[in-house]
Amino acid sequence: MTSLIAPIGSLLGGVALLLLGHGLLNTLLTLRGVAEGYSTGLIGIMMSGYFLGYLIGTWLAPSLIRRVGHIRTFAFYAALASIAALLHVMIVNPWVWMALRVLYGIALVTLYMVIESWLNAQVSGDKRGQVFAIYMVVNLGALAAAQQLLALESPMVFTLFALAAILICSALMPITLTRQAQPTQPETPHTDLLQLARIAPLPLMAAGLSGLALAGFWGLAPVYASGSGFDSHGVGLLMSVTILGGALLQWPIGRFSDTHDRRLVLLWVVSLAAVLSVVLTFFVAGPLLLAGMFLWGGLAFSIYSISVAQMVDQLHPDEILSGSSGLLLANGFGAAFGPVIAGGLMTLIGPKGLPIFFAVTLGVLALYSLYRARRVSDLLSEPHGHFTPMLRTSHTVLELMPDTPETPHEPASDPDAQPEPAYAGQER
């Protein structure tokens, strides 16, 4: 394991620090918004700005990386993200926060893209799946750990905002000190959503609706937890427990989906998540709510991963990368509307509006999954894909997936640089 991690340790260290700051800032902003008296609907609109920026950054980032290189791009956007984190506490205004969230979303997806394209350049062959798994563990672990930092201080003071900015900025250190040669940025795969909808409609729908539901979680779960009776420490605990559920329960769910009809597995996972969402409306702050969110996280976080695996089952190998990019785009579009819709519902009926939003969103997906499973025989290609636990980051990480055909990366044109690949493996 050491030989696997050592060559990419600086990249993993950078993303861990980045997501510690990012995970802290996201929850912190929601709690500060509640403390400032912002309505739940207004908080939902503000938090949707991040996902809008994420979509915009997906198109902007590749050209900048090609023009100035990975390290300069990372330095620029890490500085921008840190500045945005500090400006939130210096200018406490909901519409300013909305603009800052858009800028922050652009910055974060670009930072993801830099790290992930670098990982792609260092990994080849049969090691990609292992590195992908390690990378996702680092992502989820850092996001879960970040929630515990909320217990250090009140969201009403400068300290936690400064800490988030420090962590984001500190991600620069391992990235800028790496000795790995900068790779070239590959072309963004062409995505035809209409064609993907004809070939793999169920994965596309699952990706979009899971983005809708999970964006509601990321944006408004702190409001829900606070309204259910948790203090700041309890809010962080609920967020951590849900993320850990998503990290741990994806593995058994994924193994089961690899040996059974994946459409039926998706149907059961979505249906159970929808039913559990209804059950959550009866819980208040306490162990039962934490246990329920742990289970809900395991089910809800699995939906996007199952949809990717189902898509791999239905596409030819040379279509997988563009298809995965299409699912990522659908997930992003859903995420851009999730906090707005969930916030509006919570404004009307209170904190319980969030689990009701989950129940309705996942219930619609369950009905569509039932239709596809009972009425439509989807064409499956060989070999079948394998379930891979994952988060939505950038399209660049899709090349690390073990079922994706390997794309060669060329190092930067430095005549003195003699980079050696971190791993050697056979071509797929």
Amino acid type, 147: Q
> Model-level pTM greater than 0.95?
no
pLDDT confidence of residue 279: 96
Write down the architecture of domain 9-183+193-400 according to CATH.
Answer: Up-down Bundle (1.20)
**Pick from 120-129, 363-372, 399-408: least confident:** 399-408
**Residue 382, SS3 per DSSP:** coil
- Confidence bin at 129 (pLDDT 50/70/90): low
pLDDT (average), residues 336-340: 93
Task: Give the mean pLDDT of 384-403.
Answer: 58
Q: Would you state the pLDDT for residue 337?
A: 93
What confidence score (pLDDT) does residue 36 get?
93
Share the mean pLDDT of the chain: 82
Q: In the predicted model, what is the mean pLDDT of residues 130-157?
A: 87
Q: Which residue has the higher pLDDT, 215 or 324?
A: 215
Q: What does the pLDDT read at residue 419?
A: 41
